[in-house]
Amino acid sequence: MRVAVDVTPLVGVRTGIGQAVASILDALRAQQVGSPGPGPGSRPGAPDAPEVIPYALSRRARGHAGTLPEGTRFPAWPARMLLRAWERSDGPTVDRWLDGADVVHATNYLAPPSRHPVVVSVWDCTFVRSPELVSPAVRKVEPMLRRALRRGAWVHTGSHFVASEIVDHFGADLAGPDRVVVVAPGIPVLHREGEVEPAIQELVETPFILALGTIEPRKNLDGLVRAFGLLAPQHPELHLVLAGPDGPGRRAVDLARAALPNRSASRIVITGPVSDAGRTTLLESAAVLAYPSVYEGFGFPILEAMRSGVPVVASLTGSIPEVAGNAAALVEPLDPDALAAALARVLTDDDHRDELVARGRARAAEFSWGETARGLTELYAKALG
Is residue 193, in this structure, part of any structural domain at all? no
Is residue 334, in this structure, part of any structural domain at all? yes
Is residue 124, in this structure, part of any structural domain at all? yes
Strands 103-106, 288-291: pairing kind:
unpaired
Is residue 351, in this structure, part of any structural domain at all? yes
Nearest of 23, 244, 118, 250 to residue 9 by alpha carbon? 23
Rg for the chain (alpha carbons), in Å? 21
Task: Check residue 65 and give its pLDDT.
Answer: 67
Give the helix, strand, coil percentages of the chain, each rounded to 5. Answer: 45, 15, 40
Residues 216 and 130 placed together within one structural domain of the fold? no
Residues 117 and 259 placed together within one structural domain of the fold? no
Domain span at residue 308?
198-364
Q: Are 333 and 299 spatial neighbours (Cβ–Cβ below 8 Å)?
A: no
What residues contact 36, with CB distance under 8 A and at least 6 apart? 30, 42, 43, 44, 370
Rounded Cα distance between 114 and 145, Å, is: 14
pLDDT tens per residue across all 385 residues of the chain: 999 999 999 987 778 899 999 999 999 999 876 644 455 444 444 437 899 999 998 877 777 767 899 999 998 888 889 888 998 899 899 999 999 999 999 999 999 999 999 999 999 999 999 888 778 888 889 999 999 999 999 999 999 999 999 999 999 999 999 999 999 999 998 877 778 888 898 888 899 999 999 999 999 999 999 999 999 999 999 999 999 999 999 999 999 999 999 999 999 999 999 988 999 999 999 999 999 999 999 999 999 999 999 999 999 999 999 999 999 999 999 999 999 999 999 999 999 999 999 999 999 999 999 999 999 999 999 999 8
Written as one string, the DSSP assignment of 349-374 is -HHHHHHHHHHHHHHHTT--HHHHHH
H-assigned helices in 126-184: 126-129, 136-139, 141-150, 160-170
Residues 179 and 212 placed together within one structural domain of the fold? no
Burial class (CB in 10 A: 0-12, 13-18, 19+), 146: middle
Q: Are 289 and 210 spatial neighbours (Cβ–Cβ below 8 Å)?
A: yes
The total number of structural domains in the chain stands at 2
Residues 31 and 136 placed together within one structural domain of the fold? yes
Is residue 191, in this structure, part of any structural domain at all? no
Phi, psi for 104 (deg, rounded to 5): -110, 125
Residues 120 and 168 placed together within one structural domain of the fold? yes
DSSP state of 51: E
Q: What is the pLDDT of residues 50-85, one digit of tens each?
A: 999 999 988 777 777 678 999 999 988 888 898 889
Q: Are 70 and 26 spatial neighbours (Cβ–Cβ below 8 Å)?
A: no
Is residue 192, in this structure, part of any structural domain at all? no
Is residue 112, in this structure, part of any structural domain at all? yes
DSSP state of 189: -
* Positive or negative torsion for Cα 252, 255, 261, 267: positive
Residues 217 and 139 placed together within one structural domain of the fold? no
Residues 60 and 114 placed together within one structural domain of the fold? yes
Task: Check residue 303 and give its pLDDT.
Answer: 98
Residues 225 and 356 placed together within one structural domain of the fold? yes
Rounded Cα distance between 319 and 71, Å, is: 36
Task: Check residue 362 and give its pLDDT.
Answer: 98
Q: Are 323 and 371 spatial neighbours (Cβ–Cβ below 8 Å)?
A: no
Residues 246 and 120 placed together within one structural domain of the fold? no
Nearest of 267, 312, 307, 268 to residue 284 by alpha carbon? 307
Nearest of 245, 369, 225, 337 to residue 290 by alpha carbon? 225
Residues 209 and 180 placed together within one structural domain of the fold? no
Q: Are 189 and 267 spatial neighbours (Cβ–Cβ below 8 Å)?
A: no
Q: Are 121 and 107 spatial neighbours (Cβ–Cβ below 8 Å)?
A: yes
Is residue 226, in this structure, part of any structural domain at all? yes
Residues 10 and 148 placed together within one structural domain of the fold? yes
Phi, psi for 363 (deg, rounded to 5): -65, -45
Residues 99 and 180 placed together within one structural domain of the fold? yes
CATH of the domain at 132: 3.40.50.2000
